Amino acid sequence: MADPNNPEEAKTPESQSQPGDAVPPPLPPSATGGPSVGPPAPPESPYAAPPRPSGPPPQPAQAPRPSYGYVPPQPGAPGGYGAPPPGYAPPRPPYGMPPSPQGPAPRSRMVPLLIGLAVFAFVMVGGIVALIAGLSGSDNSGSSIYPFGDRMAILDIEGVLGEGPEYGANTKVLVRQVNEWTANPNIKGILLRINSPGGAVSATQDLYYALDEFSKTGRPVVASMGDVAASGGFYTAMAADQVFANEGSLTGSIGVILSFLNFEGLQQKIGVYSHNVKSGKFKDIGSGSRPMTEEEEALLNTMIQDVYDQFLEAVIASRGEKVRGVIASQLNMPAASVSDEQIETYVRGFADGRIFSGRQAYQAQMIDNVGTFQTAFDALCKSAGVPNTIATVRAPVRKQGLFGGVDSLATKLQNLPSEPFSKVRLEYRLGW
């Protein structure tokens, strides 16, 4: 038995070194339990670098990047470089990241299809209802824009007659509407509702002739006077087959007016003078910077008389037979014996610019009867041979005051400095 105290005997065959074996390094003191063999370790410096960790250097943590619809293959992920480790989950973008460029999932195509079908059904139902209403008609208190079925047309003539939007009764619009009704066989007649003091001569005549063309088709035209139907308003009523007015309606004023402004005295006060170079002696007729000569006034009177005669011819053509009966009754003679000269003389007797009430106009046979708007409508339906429950179509009207309204007054005030000098109007008009 080997003695453990004898180092030579304590060596086992495995512990004995053989020739050529490497000498093992000295063990640290912690391994032998005694002091280490060799030179002492240098003292640790406070500035010494920390011990270098063993193994590969750690990689810095990276925040996951948004995918935007594409996730690159990850090592160990499905479809990546290898099999995924246990418990692996693909990275998801954090909350608040922008959505994918592909946008939200597409909605079902059934939604817009259903909306389109609903709109189509609504339009179809509305069209069928309108068609039924147009074919069956409605009471004469209403109006419709659907040109289906027979109808009576109502034309509102409100305000001053003239061409252009500055006039309450814009004859461009009114004439165009009458022409459309003339071409439409479903329009069985026209009822004029006149509330106008008149207006420009040419504009009034345009409307008169348009209504006359409608009458030539054999369909009736009836006029109903409102508050005022004077001068050009009365001229327009002469295109009707029958004329009605309220007892207190203001009418008449048959005549023509042409106004000029003379500001010669004002020019002299402020020291302003004007001089015209003209090609003829009448070229500056009506100039406000000098008095009108007798020759110029005579020339204008001749022209005014011609335009007045045109008005008179329209009145005689419309009221001649009624006037013939009045004259025959007054002279106690047969109506056939009354001459055209007598009729013209009778009409000229009150065609001097005077105005009448509705009652006075009826007594002079300037109108056919005293009655309301409904009375005139009933007479129109009777003339056309249709019931007074027939549907109506009413031309839209821009509401305005009797003498032009606020818009026209504003236009007058705006043009006041230039209007007297640049605008001369020949008018069938009551008032200024």
Per-residue pLDDT of the chain (432 residues; tens, 9 = 90+): 445 555 554 444 444 555 555 555 555 554 445 555 555 666 665 665 666 666 666 666 666 665 555 555 555 555 555 566 666 666 665 555 555 555 555 556 677 777 888 888 888 887 776 655 544 444 333 344 444 588 999 999 999 999 888 888 999 999 999 999 999 999 999 999 999 999 999 999 999 999 999 999 999 999 999 999 999 999 999 999 999 999 999 999 999 988 888 888 887 888 887 888 888 888 888 787 788 889 988 999 999 999 999 999 999 999 988 888 888 888 899 988 889 999 999 999 889 889 999 999 999 999 999 999 999 999 999 999 999 889 889 876 554 444 444 444 554 444 444 444 445 566 776 655
Contact criterion met (CB below 8 Å) for 278 and 284 = yes
Whose CA is closest to 238, among 85, 365, 346, 63?
A: 365
Residue 33 within a domain: no
Pairing of β 355-357 and β 250-252: antiparallel
Same domain, 285 and 312: yes
Residue 299 class from Cβ within 10 Å (0-12 exposed, 13-18 middle, 19+ buried)? middle
Q: Among 318, 335, 353, where does a domain finish?
A: 353
Give the phi and the psi of residue 62 in degrees, each rounded to 5. Answer: -115, 135
Whose CA is closest to 370, among 381, 384, 380, 358?
A: 358
Give pLDDT, residue 45: 58
Residue type, 66: P
DSSP annotation of 332 = T
Whose CA is closest to 190, among 394, 332, 413, 423?
A: 394
Q: Among 331, 353, 375, where does a domain finish?
A: 353
Whose CA is closest to 402, among 210, 249, 238?
A: 249
Provide the domain count of the chain.
2
Structural domain range at position 207: 135-250+355-425
Q: Which two tokens stand for residue 62?
A: 């990276």
Residue 92 within a domain: no
Give pLDDT, residue 417: 43
| Helix ranges restricted to H, 151-278 | 171-183, 201-215, 232-237, 264-270
Give pLDDT, residue 111: 72
Same domain, 220 and 302: no
Same domain, 364 and 243: yes
Residue 189 sits in a domain whose CATH number is 3.90.226.10
| Cβ neighbours for 238, distance < 8 A, ≥ 6 positions apart | 208, 314, 315, 317, 318, 319
- Cα angle, residue 343 at apex, residues 342 and 345 outer, rounded to 5°: 65
Residue type, 68: Y
Same domain, 199 and 181: yes
Residue 91 within a domain: no
The number of C-alpha atoms within 13 Å of 338 and in the hemisphere containing its C-beta is 21
Same domain, 383 and 287: no
Q: Among 292, 321, 353, where does a domain finish?
A: 353
Question: What is the CB neighbour count within 10 angstroms for residue 51?
Answer: 6
Same domain, 361 and 327: no
Give pLDDT, residue 43: 60
Same domain, 319 and 417: no
Same domain, 234 and 363: yes
Same domain, 298 and 229: no
Same domain, 224 and 362: yes
